[in-house]
Amino acid sequence: MAILIGDTAPDFTLESTEGNIHFHDYIDGSWAVLFSHPKNFTPVCTTELGYTAKLKPEFEKRGVKVLGLSVDKLEDHGGWARDIEETQGSALNFPLLADSEGKVARLYDMIHPNADNTLTVRSVFVIGPDKKVKLKIEYPASTGRNFDEVLRVIDSLQLTAKHQVATPVNWQSGEDVIIVPAVSNEQAKTKYPEGWKELKPYLRIVPQPQD
């Protein structure tokens, strides 16, 4: 059965470039990103992993642990990691799962047989500290993902979790946000004593809350 937003992320144990990963233990109250890429030693994947490694400080700032997955053997990861460093200027600095039997790929529906029978598509799962799936996105093998967008979504998800606000179309961190409909005007008055801009009763805008 497909994993849907709001579901508990399925647990697994698998070897990685940084030792065995017990996924739920690995999350350990943090946010997590689990992402697949189709295959080692392929061009788009090489650029994606290099860029994700470059973003490590941004993920850390947000308390997010990153975990990559490919359906390749552990012994193949080392040579490819050297290529990533050489061509992208950043070394692999997060664990890369070696899912050569496709166990986790199947568990997370990362293999789409009508696209390719054995390789994974480009899946991204953002998982909250409660181990629930907060976001899933899927790209075909030929299109590299936008990992800045993954960070943008995490900013939005974390604001929602902390402040009960939602983020509008094309929102970027620092811009105005929306009070979620579940918050009544009475409750909003306590949270936002300065008030809000009410374009419609259901569309109430406030500056982004600061931590």
Q: Looking at beta carbons only, is 44 or 55 nearer to ligand BEZ?
A: 44
Chain-centre distance of CA 2, in angstroms?
Answer: 17
Restricted to residues 115-134, the positions that interact with ligand BEZ (CB under 6 A) are 119
Restricted to residues 2-41, the positions that interact with ligand BEZ (CB under 6 A) are 38-39
The site string for ligand BEZ over 36-55 (x = CB under 6 A, - otherwise) reads: --xx--xxxx----------
User: Applying CB under 6 A, does 142 fall inside the site for ligand BEZ?
Assistant: yes
**CA pair distance 81, 190, nearest whole angstrom:** 51
- Count of positions (residues) in the chain: 211
Category of 93 on φ-ψ map: left (φ > 0), alpha (ψ -120 to 50) or beta: alpha
**CA pair distance 140, 138, nearest whole angstrom:** 7
Strand partners, 135: 126
User: Applying CB under 6 A, does 110 fall inside the site for ligand BEZ?
Assistant: no
Name the residue type at position 64: V
Counting residues that bind ligand BEZ (by CB under 6 A) gives: 9
Active site residue: 9, 32, 44, 45, which one? Answer: 45
Active site residues: 45
Report the interface residues with ligand BEZ, using CB under 6 A.
Answer: 38-39, 42-45, 119, 141-142
